[in-house]
Amino acid sequence: MAMRVPRLCYASTAGEEAIMQQVHTALKERGLLERKTLRDVGPPSVDRQPAVLMLLFLHVGWFAVASAAPPRCEVLPLPGGRTSLRVLGEEVTCWNYGGDAPRPFLFPVNGPAGVSLVRMGHPGAPNHDHHRGVWFAHHDVEGHDFWADGTGCRIVQRQWLAYQDGPEAVAAVLLDWITADGTQLLEQRVVFAVSRDEAGNKIEVQTELRPAADREETTLRKTNFGLIAVRVAKSLSSHFGSGQLTDSEGRSGEPAIFGKRARWMDYSGAVFSGTSARRLELEEGISLFDHPANPDHPTHWHVRNDGWMGASLCMEEARTVHGERPLRLRYLLDCHRGPYDHEQAARTFRQFSESPPWMVSASSQPHVRWSVARQPVAE
């Protein structure tokens, strides 16, 4: 709640008038006199009531309180192994790494109306409950299935590394890929960065894969399934809802898109916001962008009209991850208002293409172990 302050007009001596003038000047220099929360602040003048202690408090201590605006974007850890990423106090997405799921996932993934554009599981097939929001997985890691449920293979969060508030809500986490017999095959570092612009909510995802510490290399074998996938809301799917599947090359629908290369993929359609008589039908969509720096860009796509899309890293061939050369992949989820707009998507892709990658490094700040920052751009 915004703090209201008394009018700064209580001076009864020349000394108090001088302090009053300093306070007023300092507030004006900081632009605080124009702030809505300080609209009751007035110039030094007239009322002749002594308030030296109040003036001193304001002069010495108020500026730090008044000028400290809340962060635009925040990361909020929650009970049950969940981490909420928020913009202006509204949750955009939540990273779910606790519970009984064999791998972490993002859910919800909210569009501009505050409605999730992804869902948990398939609308009609209970054997597809491994489709959870947005998730990382791979069908064949040296013969081990990290895609389906019930195989005994797990992707588990070892620890979170950094949570940072600011113009973007940034979270960095460390994951382990562990087989049914307890063997660790991969180490995965993930950075999420959540923001909002006039078009909607954006979730940047950067991941780096390395072999486990006791391995020189690990191979992701050829498969359509992996590495990142999105199960869209029922109403967005072509089969169960009114949604339209479109790629960056102007193709529409599963038959035209499946297995093809594209820079991005989009599902757009109806979403339903509100309750009772205020329940409204709106049109929104979610796009998944493949960064140009990713290997084999533009990626192949595994898509279905029933409401899912996945960037298929190993559709054509296997990929080996070496210890000295981690595999870095960057993706962007754009949760946009309105129908799919190719020109807007192209602008988003261009901005994403030009953005530097994230770096996770040991922090020099007190009480902070790790920090996350954009890689400096070479001059």
Q: Tokens 């001076």 belong to which residue?
A: 11
What type of residue is 335?
C
Q: Give 12 or 257, the one with higher predicted confidence.
A: 257
pLDDT of residue 377: 82
Could you give the CA distance from residue 305 to residue 137 in angstroms, rounded to a whole number?
A: 21
H runs (alpha helix) in the chain: 14-29, 52-57, 63-66, 254-257, 342-354
For residue range 268-309, list pLDDT tens digits in order. 999 999 999 999 999 999 999 999 999 999 999 999 999 999
pLDDT band at 14 (very low <50, low <70, confident <90, very high): low
Q: Is the pLDDT of residue 193 over 70?
A: yes
Using pLDDT thresholds of 50, 70 and 90, give the confidence band for residue 168: very high
Average pLDDT over residues 142-165: 98
Question: What integer pLDDT is reported at residue 176 of this predicted model?
Answer: 98
Is pLDDT at 97 greater than 70 in this prediction? yes
E strands in the chain: 73-78, 82-87, 90-96, 105-109, 134-136, 154-164, 169-178, 184-197, 200-211, 217-220, 227-231, 244-247, 264-273, 280-290, 300-304, 308-312, 319-322, 327-337, 358-362, 370-374
Question: What is the structure's pLDDT at 273?
Answer: 95
pLDDT over 80 (residue 215): yes
Mean local confidence (pLDDT), 43-71: 53
User: What is the residue whose two structure tokens read 């996932």?
Assistant: 105
Using alpha carbons only, give the angle 116, 204, 298 rounded to the nearest 5 degrees: 105
Q: What's the confidence (pLDDT) of residue 16?
A: 52
pLDDT exceeds 80 at position 209:
yes
pLDDT above 90: percentage of residues in the chain: 80
Residue 93 has pLDDT above 70, yes or no: yes
**Mean pLDDT, range 255-276, rounded to an integer:** 97
- Using CA atoms, how far apart are residues 121 and 118, in angstroms rounded to an integer? 9
Residue 29 main-chain phi, psi, to 5 deg: -60, -35
* 348 within 8 A of 332, measured Cβ to Cβ: yes
Amino acid type, 217: E
43 φ/ψ angles, rounded to the nearest 5 degrees: -75, 160
Q: Would you give the DSSP letter of residue 257?
A: H
- The two structure tokens encoding residue 276: 């009772």
Collapsing DSSP to helix, strand or coil, 326 comes out as coil
- CB within 8 A of 91, min separation 6: which ones? 84, 85, 108, 110
Query: Average pLDDT, stretch 190-206?
Result: 97
Q: What is the mean pLDDT of residues 7-18?
A: 47
Task: Write down the mean pLDDT value for the chain.
Answer: 88
Tokens 């070479």: give the residue.
Answer: 378
| Best CA proximity match to 300, nearest among 246, 342, 332, 257 | 257
pLDDT in the model for residue 4: 43
Whether residue 200 has pLDDT greater than 80: yes
Q: What angle do CA 176, 311, 210 make, to 5 degrees?
A: 30
CA atoms within 13 A of residue 372's CA, in its CB half-sphere: 22
pLDDT at 180: 98
Answer yes or no: pTM beyond 0.85.
no
**Residue 378 confidence (pLDDT):** 73
Q: Determine the longest span between alpha carbons in the chain, in angstroms.
A: 84
Residue 48: is its pLDDT beyond 90? no
Q: Which residues pair with 76 in a beta bridge?
A: 84
